[in-house]
Structure 1
């Protein structure tokens, strides 16, 4: 038996980690996640990746979220880096060095170490997004705050954080894609960061922390590769 819990409303891919991404109508999904997702990152001379936080692997590089990235010719080719006005820059490395004020940064393709913070696929429901909006009235909130790959439209009355019920279960998306939900993301201050038309606000992370221990979404691994399309159903398998 299966239970349909929603349909795919948005598909997001982020060709360059920690920049704004591109919305898609469909995407191939393999063991690594959406084809081309976070395949590139801004890397410094010490090997750390540009991010909104400082950790053993990541270096905070303020301003990256005001940029966007896309694959003009599909994920088989190189990504384009778009400036804050949405214009593709001719030389991404030179632009990043000027923009970030660092002489040691360059776009780097993933090698042996994954660019992902955690697992390769992030799924978020409209029910949870609606809750966040209600928790921080007056603060512009949309899915870009949380950088999911898939946004699932859930039926009216679905409780927020319904993604918790998926953990430990397998789901079918569309005709062939199967994923296994493992855990939820632990959110950091990056959810508060300004990006494009979204202003900085510390209220978002505070609200998620109070209500749900900073956890939000469902992270998954890919069991059976396939293709995801807008409008596909997401079915939990029993």
Structure 2
């Protein structure tokens, strides 16, 4: 058992996000999380990697996004602020990213999430990795986790033992699906953190390029900082 230490939502995929004290959670994950993405002219989503769905756009982590109601508000690397419903936002993004034709787009048929609806890490795993990466500014923002769970004195990487288990957090129930595979994003400067160019290599060497876990939502509800989490417990379902 432990508690939720931090909640993070990322209105725009691959941009820095916003720290919350409370959020609604549904089948898709945290309400509004990664609901928007920057699309290239071919429809691929801006990301830290190239794949069938994603197009690498290295400049994206230098942006930040938050919501004003249901509208994403973007903070550019130079400090300018633009709302997602501003007609000039697409051209401004294209210029700032030096990537002609990109557009800020709401999620359609293809999901914006990489692997699963919810990503989480623990304080224990962060402490474990910090011991192996001296001098690196290390917190959950590097890994774009939705949840930071305080696991107290638990040693090592406790969340890895939760794969296949149910996790109850306040009103919410998750099923932990798999370890999270990391990419170059962990070493990029973002959210006020400096670059850590050797971090991905270290994670690869000490933990097979995985860190944290991915989960699906079994039961939605309100999620709050301070909510207790329990492993291996199935929340009672009401009619």
Look up the SS of the partner of 2:211 in the other structure.
Answer: coil
- 1:150 aligns with 147
- 2:26 aligns with 30
- 1:199 aligns with 194
Gaps of 5+ in 1: none
* CA offsets 1:44-83 (integer angstroms, 9 cap, x no match): 110111111111211111211010001012xxx2211111
The answer to whether the 8 Å contact 1:122/1:148 transfers is yes
Gaps of 5+ in 2: 234-239
Cα deviation, residue 85, structure 1:
5.0
Cα deviation, residue 206, structure 1:
1.8
Task: Give the Cα–Cα distance (whole angstroms) in 1 for the partners of residues 191 and 169 of structure 2.
Answer: 31
Task: Give the Cα–Cα distance (whole angstroms) in 1 for the partners of residues 68 and 227 of structure 2.
Answer: 25
Task: Give the Cα–Cα distance (whole angstroms) in 2 for the partners of residues 70 and 199 of structure 1.
Answer: 21
Look up the SS of the partner of 2:81 in the other structure.
Answer: coil
1:212-223 → structure 2 map (5 Å cutoff):
212-223=207-218
Task: Give the Cα–Cα distance (whole angstroms) in 2 for the partners of residues 37 and 197 of structure 1.
Answer: 20
- 2:105 aligns with 108
- TM-score, structure 1 normalization: 0.92
1:233 pairs with 218, 228, 235, which one?
A: 228
- TM-score, structure 2 normalization: 0.92
1:94-173 → structure 2 map (5 Å cutoff):
94-156=91-153, 158-173=154-169
Task: Give the Cα–Cα distance (whole angstroms) in 1 for the partners of residues 78 and 226 of structure 2.
Answer: 30
1:43-54 → structure 2 map (5 Å cutoff):
43-54=39-50
* CA offsets 1:149-187 (integer angstroms, 9 cap, x no match): 00001112x12211111111111111x211111101111
Look up the SS of the partner of 1:37 in the other structure.
Answer: coil
Aligned-pair Cα RMSD in Å: 1.3
Task: Give the Cα–Cα distance (whole angstroms) in 2 for the partners of residues 142 and 237 of structure 1.
Answer: 26
Look up the SS of the partner of 1:7 in the other structure.
Answer: strand
The number of aligned residues is: 229
- Cα distance 1:113–1:100, how it changes in 2: closer, same or farther (>3 A)? same
Counterpart check, 1:84 vs 2:81: no
Task: Give the Cα–Cα distance (whole angstroms) in 1 for the partners of residues 22 and 119 of structure 2.
Answer: 16
The answer to whether the 8 Å contact 1:173/1:233 transfers is yes
The answer to whether the 8 Å contact 1:68/1:86 transfers is no
Cα deviation, residue 34, structure 1:
0.2
